[in-house]
Amino acid sequence: MAGGAFVDSGPAGKEYPGKLTLYVFFTCVVAATGGLIFGYDIGISGGVTSMDSFLQKFFPSVYEKEQRNKDSNQYCKFDSQLLTTFTSSLYLAALIASFFAATVTRVFGRKWSMFGGGITFLIGAALNGAAKNVLMLILGRILLGIGVGFANQSVPVYLSEMAPARLRGMLNIGFQLMITIGILCANLINYGTSKITGGWGWRVSLALAAVPAAIITVGSLFLPDTPNSLIDRGHDEAARKMLHRIRGTDDIDEEYNDLVAASMESKLVEHPWANILRPKYRAQLTMAILIPFFQQLTGINVIMFYAPVLFKTIGFGNDASLMSSVITGLVNVFATLVSIFTVDKFGRRKLFLQGGSQMLICQIIVGTLIAIKLGTSGEGSFGKTYAGFLVFFICLYVAGFAWSWGPLGWLVPSEIFPLEIRSAGQSINVSVNMLFTFIIAQAFLTMLCHMKFGLFYFFGGWVFIMTTFIAFFLPETKNVPIEEMILVWRNHWFWGRFISDEDIHIGKNVEMGKGKPKAEA
Ligand code: BGC
């Protein structure tokens, strides 16, 4: 392998004038709240499915099994396909919705895609809160899923287009921060509602999803569309004004012209879906598939969805289980802040490599700690100190994810596609993410039952593979203007071979890698 393979390809590009205006900051904060609905949902299902009243009403067979199995094999007591369908149906809906969302996002703008997502989620929350049977429950989940599909399609792209290149990482990660806040709120709400004795606590948990939905629905109405999308839809003057406003300077000609050039090029493309298969987009297509795939194969959602179930499995009581998931939720939020403040300084690669190594080590330790106590029979329990250690390493693992694959899994795909394939590329990203979220959600309880502690080694193996992949195949993208990203791929030791000089039309005033010096090399 070429020695240079490990070296960043070195961002090629230039820096446009302009500062971080208050206006752009606030629009990004509002747009990022789209992450709340996704996060709330991730966090709420695990807690709800561990509530006895919920199980008794909708999944009595699981409830009985849980009661009967009190002191037998810990690994298998929650294994039920029906129960996992409740959790995972949402992700299938989101997967399908993201393809429709691609067209809405491209044709009507990013803003309406967010609005549509918020409204659908709102209806889903109402249906779920009022659910009388499994059908209503699953129907509600499907509507929530459609909402998530639309929001996850439009929000990351919106943020990356609005942000000045040198702060793009920070502003984009606002989305992931909102996801983690959503998860934490859901964990806290579950903790509170599980104490409601009337057996309707789960209703409150599910219905409160309406709050984040209302935030993004109303918020999106106040959002302007991005200059990129405005130009692409023929509103050149509005785009120029918007660029002026968000960059806070008159000196916007260079960026504006590059956006127009990017849009003109995108107009030559009739079928973004067929186009994305062309060799010159091989790198982007590969990343659009592998990054979300790898993100899910870190195994993070085992913790996010099933933390309470998992903690119960390894012998924690009801209260301790829900409390421990509040702790992992807190770690998730605070560790995300680390990436916000470092991603544009150290770059994406360093975070990926550091976070990946940390996760791998923790997974090996967690698997081994469980193996020692529960072995393969699944019988046994943990003492207080031992359980404390276990939670500590799970937290360290969550922290590693929260400053690497969590935020970067949304940031990197949103910043690497040229305009002509951006919506299509993002919907591949969203749908692969949802597909594997679905698969993991659906398979986890069965996998735990069969693979036992080995499950942690299994995900650890994947983390090793993905970290190696990043080391060799992902060039650094920090500080590179989004419409010039093609230069980064052109300069990469591997992906460069798929792109010829004729493929590069953007930023004609910038020769390969010889633009104005960047703020920071
Ligand atoms: C992932 C989710 C995950 C969450 C955890 C997101 O980036 O897409 O699947 O549950 O991070 O914080």
pLDDT tens for each residue of the chain, 521 residues long:
333 344 444 444 567 887 889 999 999 999 999 999 999 998 898 778 878 899 899 988 888 877 776 555 666 766 677 777 787 889 999 999 998 998 898 889 999 999 999 999 999 999 999 999 989 998 999 999 999 999 999 999 999 999 998 999 999 999 999 999 999 999 899 889 988 989 899 999 999 999 999 999 999 999 999 999 999 899 999 999 999 999 998 889 999 998 998 888 878 777 778 889 999 999 999 999 999 999 999 999 988 877 766 677 666 777 777 778 888 999 999 999 999 999 999 999 999 999 999 999 999 999 999 888 877 777 777 777 888 888 899 999 999 999 999 999 999 999 999 988 888 899 899 999 999 998 988 887 788 888 888 999 999 999 999 999 999 999 999 999 988 899 999 999 999 999 988 777 654 444 433 333 333 32
How far apart (Å, rounded) are the C-alpha atoms in residues 138 and 496? Answer: 46
Contact between 46 and 83 (Cβ < 8 Å):
no
Q: Where are the alpha helices (DSSP H) in 75-133?
A: 81-108, 110-129
Contact between 241 and 224 (Cβ < 8 Å):
no
Contact between 455 and 303 (Cβ < 8 Å):
no
Pocket test for ligand 1, best of 36, 185, 302, 304 (most atoms within 8 A of CB): 304
**Which two structure tokens, joined as six digits, stand for 342?**
């470092």
408 lines ligand 1 (CB under 6 A): no
What is the structure's pLDDT at 51?
85
Distance 483 CA to ligand 1 centre (A): 27
182 lines ligand 1 (CB under 6 A): no
CA-nearest residue, atom 10 of ligand 1: 301
How far apart (Å, rounded) are the C-alpha atoms in residues 474 and 471? Answer: 7
The minimum-distance atom of ligand 1 relative to the CA of 406 is 7
What is the structure's pLDDT at 142?
94
Pocket test for ligand 1, best of 152, 179, 352 (most atoms within 8 A of CB): 179
What is the structure's pLDDT at 64?
85
What phi and psi values does residue 197 have, to the nearest 5 degrees?
-85, -20
The minimum-distance atom of ligand 1 relative to the CA of 301 is 10
Instruction: Tell me the CA end-to-end span of the chain in Å, nearest whole number.
Output: 25
CA-nearest residue, atom 8 of ligand 1: 406
Q: With left for phi above 0 and alpha for psi between -120 and 50, is residue 78 left, alpha or beta?
A: alpha
> Within 13 Å, how many C-alpha atoms sit on residue 487's CB side?
23
What phi and psi values does residue 205 have, to the nearest 5 degrees?
-55, -50
9 lines ligand 1 (CB under 6 A): no
Pocket test for ligand 1, best of 159, 176, 359, 431 (most atoms within 8 A of CB): 176
Pocket test for ligand 1, best of 95, 294, 295 (most atoms within 8 A of CB): 295
How far apart (Å, rounded) are the C-alpha atoms in residues 299 and 322? Answer: 19
What is the structure's pLDDT at 508?
47
Q: What is the pTM (predicted TM-score) of this model? A: 0.89
- Please name the residue that has the structure tokens 């309880």: 445
